Amino acid sequence: MTAPEGIFTSNGGSVDLNNFQLTLAAKFTLPPLPTDVPLPWVIIGKAVIENFDGDPQNATAQLLLDDVVIDSDEIRLAGCGDGPAVGQCVSLQAAFRQTLKQAALVEMKCSTYIGRVIDTKLAAISLSTLHTV
């Protein structure tokens, strides 16, 4: 058995966000390692967070690996007033070496006061070698 070269998931729908509660936007599971050799991965997540509130609001996006935050960002969304929702794209990325012979859960979670997350994309790309500089 060989390790996959990449995994991709896309949530073309929307997920409601309320009361700054971190909410799952997308997830997938990295398969267990086939050997004792560590496998480097690059994880990339992207989503649009929209604010439905009339006032400006903070929004958070997190990339998690087995419930541990590996990247996060906080943005400030403009208020929508009486107009349509105001959205902003957020992108997260991380690199790590998978060392255990067990599956690993990758998740992207988002939050804001009153809004939604749309067009979430989450990808993992395995590498033969990972050089960090």
Does the pLDDT of residue 2 top 70, yes or no?
no
Q: Quick check: helix, strand or coil at residue 67?
A: coil
CA 70 – CA 92 distance, rounded (Å): 9
pLDDT band at 109 (very low <50, low <70, confident <90, very high): very high
Q: What is the pTM of this model?
A: 0.90
Mean pLDDT calculated for residue range 53-74? 96
DSSP state of 66: T
What would the pLDDT profile of 85-100 be if each residue is shown by its tens digit? 889 999 999 998 888 7
| Pair of tokens at residue 8 | 């991709």
Mean pLDDT calculated for residue range 111-122? 96
Residue 57 confidence (pLDDT): 96
Domains and CATH numbers, the chain: 6-126 (2.60.120.1340)
CA 15 – CA 31 distance, rounded (Å): 26
Does the pLDDT of residue 128 top 90, yes or no?
no
Residue 80 confidence (pLDDT): 86
Mean pLDDT calculated for residue range 63-76? 96
Which CA distances in Å does 121 have to 28, 34, 77? 11, 26, 20
CA 83 – CA 130 distance, rounded (Å): 46
Does the pLDDT of residue 133 top 70, yes or no?
no
